[in-house]
Amino acid sequence: MREFNYSKIREQKWDSDILGYIAAIYKEAGKQEQYLKQRPKELEKLVEIAKVQSTEASNAIEGIVTTNTRIKQLVEKKTTPRNRDELEIAGYRDVLNVIHENFDTIPISRNYILQLHKIMYSYMNNPLAPFETPEALDRICEEYNRVIGNMEVEPLIAIPVFIHDFLCIHPFNDGNGRMSRLLTTLLLYRNGFYVGKYISLEAKIAQAKDLYYGALSQSQDGWHEGCEDTIPFIKYLLSIILAAYKDFEDRFSIVETKLPAIDMVRKATQNKIGRFNKQDIRELCPSLSISSIESSLRKLVKSGELRREGTGRATCYIRLK
């Protein structure tokens, strides 16, 4: 079995890109803490949006899909699953809820990871074999807990290394990719980085999943010989985390002052380039109802600030000013 020794991470010389990402993420995390004190109610509405996006995106990466309406209903538990894909989506939703509500009481151990995986597949009729490589999973959990507990390694370095090793070990017969993204959220929460609660990290990964697979592939070359270079994956995951914090800051800039609905929507459209739809605006204006957003968009079209294209679900808008 391959040896794992996370203490060696301390000896690694990190380049300016990685050090820059870490410094920027800590800065943004500090700003987020202040933002949450100022507008907790408005920003809390981002949580439900992020849950829907995370559940949809993480499953879609693996080809598990349903309609936008059904995803929202499933996440809000307003319907029951109709097919295999929706059963898997419902399981992911349940694990995400467990992490959101109990992250501080979920240790990083093989048994707890097994429990989370079991919840993810709890709606399926054919339970999967739990583990192919329990010893390796035990080992990376032990190493992660040791270096974090002893404060030997920066958490923003240890987290990508753990996730990278989890994906290389590939402990389950199915569901490793989705479990890795759930574990990323759990590890970030446990280390005080809560951005995934408000901005979907899974959605950001899904937007350019080729980069995700490319970074993982680069980092996995030679892994079994023990000469892996995790730097591409570390850089990739840190860039995703930082981008999510920047998105959070953009959303806060719109809700930080009390504005009439049309002014809030106008401000949100000014953050968009190219075509966008009302759901894009809803993400930026979580305190507004859909009807208020639709009304404001109509007014902005009438005033010549926006151009509307398409009809029905295909309706989109383009900023003209």
CATH classification of the domain holding 304: 1.10.10.10
| 286 in Cβ contact with 46 (< 8 Å) | yes
Statement to judge: residues 63 and 212 lie in one domain: yes
Confidence of residue 2 (pLDDT cuts 50, 70, 90): low
Residue 203 is assigned to a structural domain of this protein: yes
Greatest distance between any 2 Cα atoms in the chain: 67
Range of the domain at 86: 6-255
3-state secondary structure of 292: helix
Angstrom distance (rounded) from CA 263 to CA 254: 9
224, 255, 286 - which closes a domain: 255
Residue 164 has pLDDT above 80, yes or no: yes
Statement to judge: residues 218 and 132 lie in one domain: yes
The CATH number of whichever domain residue 86 belongs to comes to 1.10.3290.10
Statement to judge: residues 196 and 276 lie in one domain: no
Residue 83 has pLDDT above 50, yes or no: yes
3-state secondary structure of 82: coil
| 190 in Cβ contact with 238 (< 8 Å) | no
pTM for the whole structure: 0.89
Burial class (CB in 10 A: 0-12, 13-18, 19+), 281: buried
Statement to judge: residues 12 and 47 lie in one domain: yes
Residue 236 is assigned to a structural domain of this protein: yes
Residue 1 is assigned to a structural domain of this protein: no
Statement to judge: residues 61 and 180 lie in one domain: yes
CA distances from 3 to 8, 138, 141, 161, 164 (A): 12, 12, 13, 14, 15
Q: What does the pLDDT average to over 293-311?
A: 95
Statement to judge: residues 209 and 105 lie in one domain: yes
**Per-residue tokens: 309:** 């294209």
Q: What does the pLDDT average to over 293-319?
A: 95
- In total, how many domains does the chain have? 2
Mutual angle of helices 231-255 and 261-269, in 10-degree steps: 150
| 235 in Cβ contact with 260 (< 8 Å) | no
